[in-house]
Every structure is written in structure tokens, then in C-alpha cells.
Amino acid sequence: MTHAYNWQRLEETAAQPVWITDDETLARYCEQWQELPLIALDTEFIRVDTFYPVPGLIQIADDSGCYLIDPLEIEDYAPMVQLFRNPAVLKVLHAGNEDLELFLYMFGELPAPIFDTQIAAGFLGWGFSMGYQRLVEYALDVKLDKGETTSDWLQRPLTASQERYAALDVAYLPVLCQRQMAELKTRGMTEWVEEETALLLQQTPDNDPDGVTYYQRFSQAWKLPPEKIAALRDLTAWRERICRQRDVPRNRVLRNNALLDIVNKWPKDLHALSRLDDIRMQQVRQDGEVILGYLKMAPHSALAKPPEPINRPLSYKWNKPLKVLKAMARSKAEELNIAPEILLRKKDLDALIRTENQGEFSLPPSLSGWRKAVIGDVLLEKLQSLEV
């Protein structure tokens, strides 16, 4: 990719970014961006009192400037969706999980292909889960002000400080991407990062919109009897539906601790429910009867649709084998100069051990792809030889 992206020039334009506040202007710029090899993307949004993010700004940087797209004014995003679909234009983000979620919510589409500079930094050994400011300072020796991190991005007009802060969030991404891509190519890691970013896109859509498996996140509840697990399953699924309907955060309906308290103490009436920790009277008045209804129905629900068990914590007998496998992964990460957390995650080891079937193990999906050849096969071989 030889197209010139000069970060000093983009840094200068961030002082006066171009505002895009109407459909015609957005369409015109999207047509220009269709001809470029890459653009940088970022978003600003508010998500304090809502379940869904409220978009406040979309930032873009190209080869000549920084742009602020105003979601409070734009109505027709079709040209941007077409840009998102263009496989010839690489979309560069940093720590793009929440940005991707916002795009999917706004447009029903995800940008592709993408390049995430945070992911690439982990592969290059620059640092794991590096924040944008730290990455810019590390790679370009530029210190960024964090003063507008908690700004109100729905206010209009934005201050000059807000505009510059938002524009700088994309100004450095093109050159960071180009430098990282060059180093990844030299180290033979290009396909690894492509796999990882493709996986990020696959995981962005909510694969459990009805919340029917959310209860399995409560690992501390694995000992509960089936009717209590069924109650936990049904209550968390109800909470997911209600949060979406009311567009409120989960803790506005029921906190996680409250859910566990309810299924453990099993209140019989509204008075008993109101005395539980983390339950507010407003919640009791609004949803108390519904909550009690799910408890009453739990025995029938457990019989009619037995809940999948919650994974119990791994036995203490795995402590030593886990240390051996983690040490192998750390050694390999040092050899490759890659962040250990990128090479092998705790959940990957957990999944590997849980594949055991009569003493035999197999690689879980999370240790397939590039990880299989680099670390997965040797971990599997070592695990088979360990006495547990």
C-alpha cells in the first residue's frame, strides 16, 4: 500500500475538521472515499441511561483531512453502507468493538475489511490492549490530551476542543496502520491479524438476542439445583427482552447480584423481595409480580425445558498442568515477541481442558486457525502426556 497518508498534515487539519451535516455532502464524500485504499473510522456516543448506544459523532480520516459526520442531522446513510461493503477500501479502527456494535445498530451493516490497530499492536509486541493515546505516543512520540474523554457528544455546537479531540482520534490511524502492516508482513503475521479481525466481525452481532444463554455467565451458580438454574435462565432472558423494549441498561431492571440473590433466597412475596440487597422499591413496584411469577413457574420450566448446566470451575487437580501449559505459551510468546494474551487466552486453556472425553483431548475452535500451528498442537500434545 503506497498511498501517502501524512499524519502531520492530518494532525493539522484536526484543528478545523470538515463537518458533514447533510445527506448530499455525505454522498459526495463517500464517493471520493470509495477510490481510496483505506480510511480511518471512529465514533463518539453516549450509553449511560440506555441499552442501545446513542450516536453523537462519526469520525473519518482520509489522505487529506479529518471529517465529523453528524448523526443528529444525517438521514440517508446508504452511501456509507456502500462504502462499508467495498472490499477494496480498508477500514481502520482502534479497539473497534464498540464502534462496530454502533455501526451494526445504526446501519444493520459492518464495515469490511477492517484493520484494528490495537489488535495489531499485540501481535507486534508493542503492548496488549493498548489505549489509543498510549499507542500514538509509543509509535509516533505524540502525547494526546485526554480531556474530552467523558464529553457530552450530543450537545450542539461542540466546542473547538471537542472537535479537535474527536478528529485526532482518527488522524493518526492511517499511518499507524501502514507501519503496522509493513512490520506484520516482515514478520509473516499478516494472515494472523486478518484472521483475528475477521473473527472480531463475526463476533460483533449478538448471537443471543433473547438472552436465553446469558445465565451461563453466572459461573458461581453452577451448584444450584435445576429449578433454581431454570429460574436464573428465565429471569435473565426476561431482563434482556425488557432492557431492549425499554432501552435501559440491565442494572436499571435488575443487577446481576440481585438476580443471584433472588434465586438463592427465593422470596415468596413482594415484601420479601423488597428486603433483598440490590433491589430498589421502584423495581419491586414495576416488576415485582413478574419476578415472583418466574419463581413460581421455575419447577415447571425446569421440567418442560431442562436448563443446560453451568460449567463448574475446573478441579484443583488442573492447577499444576495449567501452570505448565501457561509457561509453554509464555515462552512461545517471548520467542515470537508477541503479547502472551494474544497468543493464548485463559478461556482458550479452559476450553481445551473441557474437551476431555475419556482421557482424550481435542483442540477447541478458539485454538484453530493460526493458533493451531503456533501453539495449539504443542499444547495438545503436552496435555495428552501429563498425568492428572
Spatial separation of the C-alpha atoms in residues 164 and 18, rounded to whole Å? 11
Return the closest-CA partner of residue 145 out of 157, 137, 153: 137
Say what the pLDDT of residue 17 is: 98
Task: Identify whether 42 is a catalytic site residue.
Answer: yes
The active-site residue out of 44, 234, 261, 287 is 44
Task: Identify whether 98 is a catalytic site residue.
Answer: no
The active-site residue out of 5, 29, 67, 99 is 99
Say what the pLDDT of residue 2 is: 58
Spatial separation of the C-alpha atoms in residues 284 and 270, rounded to whole Å? 7
Contacts of 356 (CB under 8 A, 6+ apart): none
Say what the pLDDT of residue 359 is: 76
The active-site residue out of 42, 148, 261, 348 is 42
pLDDT in tens, the chain (388 residues): 557 899 999 999 999 999 999 999 999 999 999 999 999 999 999 999 999 999 999 999 999 999 999 999 999 999 999 999 999 999 999 999 999 999 999 999 999 999 999 999 999 999 999 999 999 999 999 999 877 777 899 999 999 999 999 999 999 999 999 999 999 999 999 999 999 999 999 999 988 988 999 999 999 999 999 999 999 999 999 999 999 999 999 999 999 999 999 999 999 999 999 999 899 999 999 999 999 999 999 999 999 999 999 999 999 999 999 999 999 999 999 999 999 999 999 999 999 999 988 778 999 999 999 999 999 999 999 999 887 6
The active-site residue out of 101, 116, 148, 169 is 169
Spatial separation of the C-alpha atoms in residues 272 and 270, rounded to whole Å? 5
Spatial separation of the C-alpha atoms in residues 108 and 96, rounded to whole Å? 16
Spatial separation of the C-alpha atoms in residues 25 and 250, rounded to whole Å? 38
The active-site residue out of 67, 77, 165, 214 is 165
Return the closest-CA partner of residue 383 out of 345, 313, 328, 341: 328
3-state secondary structure of 115: strand
> In the numeric block, which cell numbers belong to residue 196?
483475528
**Sequence letter at residue 321:** P
pTM: 0.93
Q: What's the half-sphere exposure (Cβ side, CA atoms, 13 Å) at 222?
A: 8
Say what the pLDDT of residue 3 is: 75
Task: Identify whether 99 is a catalytic site residue.
Answer: yes
* CA dihedral over 187, 98, 88, 58, signed as positive or negative: negative
Task: Identify whether 194 is a catalytic site residue.
Answer: no
Spatial separation of the C-alpha atoms in residues 182 and 88, rounded to whole Å? 18
Say what the pLDDT of residue 1 is: 52
Computed on alpha carbons and rounded to an integer, the radius of gyration of the chain in Å comes to 24
Return the closest-CA partner of residue 382 out of 312, 332, 340: 332
- Domains observed in the chain: 7-203 (3.30.420.10), 214-304 (1.10.150.80), 316-385 (1.10.150.80)
Instruction: Transcribe 250-293 into DSSP letters.
Output: HHHH--HHHHHHHHHH--SSHHHHHTSTT--HHHHHHHHHHHHH
Using an 8 Å Cβ cutoff, are 202 and 220 in contact?
A: no
Say what the pLDDT of residue 177 is: 98
Using an 8 Å Cβ cutoff, are 61 and 39 in contact?
A: yes
3-state secondary structure of 67: strand
Task: Identify whether 287 is a catalytic site residue.
Answer: no
